[in-house]
Chains A and B, each alone.
Chain A
Amino acid sequence: MTEYNFAYLDEQTKRMIRRAILKGLAIPGYQVPFASREMPMPYGWGTGGVQVSAAVLTPQDRFKVIDQGADDTTNAVSIRAFFQRTAGVATTTSTGDATVIQTRHRIPEDTLSEGQILVYQVPIPEPLRFLEPRESETRKMHSLQEYGLMHVKLYEDISRHGHIATSYAYPVKVEGRYVMDPSPIPKFDNPKLGDMAAIQLFGAGREQRIYALPPYTQVVSLDFEDHPFEASKADHPCGMCAATDSYLDELIVDDAGGRMFVCSDTDYCEARQAAGHKGKDAA
């Protein structure tokens, strides 16, 4: 496709986005406003991640896209095809082989390494949004490190339910400073955010925000001493590859409500199956 610049966006726009990314990396967890562009896919469908990927991709990159952990969900397919067309970059489904991974709602099971970039699609970047709808207020709260409201919310959860009733998009504190929304990843993935070797970039297109975690950043999930954070997953092994350490999707397999559990990370599951691991539901 020659009508468009490499990776779709023009160089000025990419430079603007790169500056926002660099600022984000310099102030981990801080939401940097950026002049998000209208993309040829709808807002809310990964435009933030797509713009960040467009700004960091080089012709030598190998690009992987996952949605809900899977490479073959429709929107992942669509975004991968977009960059194949507009950037002509090599694509892969292998976590280890990818240099840039765009993700929605998951962190891959395999440990990422230095030199890799993980790009998150973010719907609502503001962790305080559902406590305070006004952007002008929440920005003030961040600058004053006024996070009491968030702790009250978590406390109220405990008093009402006995547990913190947040299971995804679980808020974290970055380097003891900014409270950050990790995007709607399950809280199972939260421990992977901290001390990660790869660069983590977060793009929210509609909300016009970019934020970042440089490698080996301290990221702590908010909790209380007597109610420590707990990463949770379905208490089953994967039906296909028998993994006990991966996040699982629950599938309904018959009319009688029969269920099976299978890795949400398709690459992880397939690699394990290829290595001879076999779950109870595998053929």
Chain B
Amino acid sequence: MYVAVKGGERAIENAHAWLAEERRGDTGIAELSIPQIREQLSLAVNRVMAEGSLYDPDLAALAIKQARGDLIEAIFLIRAYRTTLPRFGASKPVDTGAMACDRRISATFKDLPGGQVLGPTFDYTHRLLDFKLAADGEVPAAPSRDADMGEVPHVTEFLNREGLIEEAPKEDTTPPDLTREPMEMPADRALRLQALTRADEGFTLGLAYSTQRGYGRNHAFVGELRIGTVPVEMDIPELGFAIEIGEVTLTECETVNQFTGSKTKPPQFTRGYGLVFGQTERKAISMALVDRALRWEELGEDNVGAPAQDAEFVLYHADNMQATGFLEHIKLPHYVDFQSELELLRKLRREAGADQLQEAAE
């Protein structure tokens, strides 16, 4: 006996209640606090801020807690919240040259003004599980000294002075905003960079890696990688001048890539660029490599058909909100379309079967 399925509403409510219980886990174990997540899972927080396109460590930590540590789900919570926020205005462009760097390394020069600063990096750690952490996470204070307050100029500026690298001319036009305008092709570099900085880290990493393995190789040197804080300034109409409204941590990667030249221009290195919220260096380096690969056309390179060269492919598939939503929607009922396929297939099979019988009879 068939009874039409009812009670979807109650099923949903119960599922949500169960989810909340599972999120909390064993109540005999202390609950995670937002500050704990913010302070101790800060790289997860950074990823959520970067791909969520919203710089707010506390909200990102809350999202991670609510999402049970599923970072894409956390990014989703942040993005959905972000769209409801009113927009007061736009900040002035940040000056990464004036960054207070925690980390600044160059793979192209052994030493340079501002120096090499390793900062808090996993590089050179031996990836051995530290069982001490399982018992007691307390660590002695790291040695410190006063920061050098000297300038930390961009490495590419040195190359630029000699004309060894392509110019990156200053652009004062307002870039397009992919959160306010539908993305349309062809996308200029500003729009591509905007899409890449919030792109899925895994997707961007995979694409960047593919360029290193020959799918659109552009031979990148990390000219410079810097992580630190920059002040954010905004013009306040009532005041008539800009004031500092806060600071954000950014990761910036500038790559120095294989050179190009032509009859009219002597050979020069080219640039790839990555800039991402938070300490997110894997993402920033990946972004720079993909940015460089996407520039094949303006640099007069061949399109070798590599995925990372294909702006439409990259930009339409890099957003993990779009990807995960559409991928997971196939969990939704498709009874109706499936039924129509069933009928078509039965009809085709019936006719094929009939034909075969006829052939056999002949």
Residues of A at the B interface (CB closer than 8 Å) are 4, 8, 10, 33-40, 42-45, 47, 67-69, 72-78, 81, 104-106, 123, 134-136, 161-163, 165, 167-169, 184-188, 206, 208-209, 232-234, 239-240, 247-251, 253, 260, 262, 264, 266, 269, 281, 283
Contacts and interface: CB of A to CB of B under 8 A. Distances in A.
Contacts of B180: 35
A226 B337 CA distance: 26
Interface stretch (B108-116, B203-211, B231-239, B317-325): B317-325
Contacts of A135: 185, 312, 316
A119 B324 CA distance: 24
Nearest to B342: A250
Contacts of A74: 8, 11-12, 332-333
Interface stretch (B55-63, B117-125, B344-352): B344-352
A40 to B, nearest CB: 4
B149 interface: no
18 contacts: A33-B184, A37-B83, A38-B76, A38-B82, A39-B80, A43-B321, A72-B9, A75-B333, A123-B329, A135-B185, A135-B316, A136-B312, A165-B344, A232-B343, A240-B2, A250-B342, A251-B2, A281-B2
Interface string B255-274: 00000000000000000000
Contacts of A104: 332
B145 interface: no
Contact of B340 (A75, A186, A262, A281): A186
Given A33-B184, A38-B83, A162-B348, A105 B2 contact: no
Give the interface SS of chain B, mostly helix, strand, loop or mixed: helix
Contacts of B312: 134-136
B79 A38 contact: yes
Give the interface SS of chain A, mostly helix, strand, loop or mixed: loop
A167 B336 contact: no
Of A74, A76, A81, A123, the most chain B CB neighbours within 10 A belong to A74
Contact of A42 (B4, B184, B324, B351): B324
Given A78-B12, A105-B336, A163 B348 contact: yes
A206 B322 contact: yes
Contact of A249 (B336, B341, B347): B336
Given A165-B348, A239-B2, A81 B339 contact: no
B182 interface: yes
Interface string B299-332: 0000000000000100010000110111111001
B262 to A, nearest CB: 27
A81 B84 contact: no
Interface in B6-65: 6-9, 11-12
A189 B348 CA distance: 21
B86 interface: yes
B127 interface: no
A249 to B, nearest CB: 5
A44 B322 CA distance: 8
Ranked nearest first, the 4 interchain pairs of A and B with the lowest CB-CB distance are: A43-B325, A44-B329, A42-B325, A44-B326
Given A33-B184, A36-B182, A135-B312, A44 B336 contact: no
Contact of A33 (B182, B329, B347): B182
B328 A42 contact: yes
Contact of B2 (A36, A78, A184, A260): A260
A77 B12 CA distance: 9
Contacts of B9: 72, 77, 81
B321 to A, nearest CB: 6
Nearest to A210: B182
A92 to B, nearest CB: 15
Nearest to A106: B336
A179 B298 CA distance: 34
Nearest to A39: B80
A197 B176 CA distance: 40
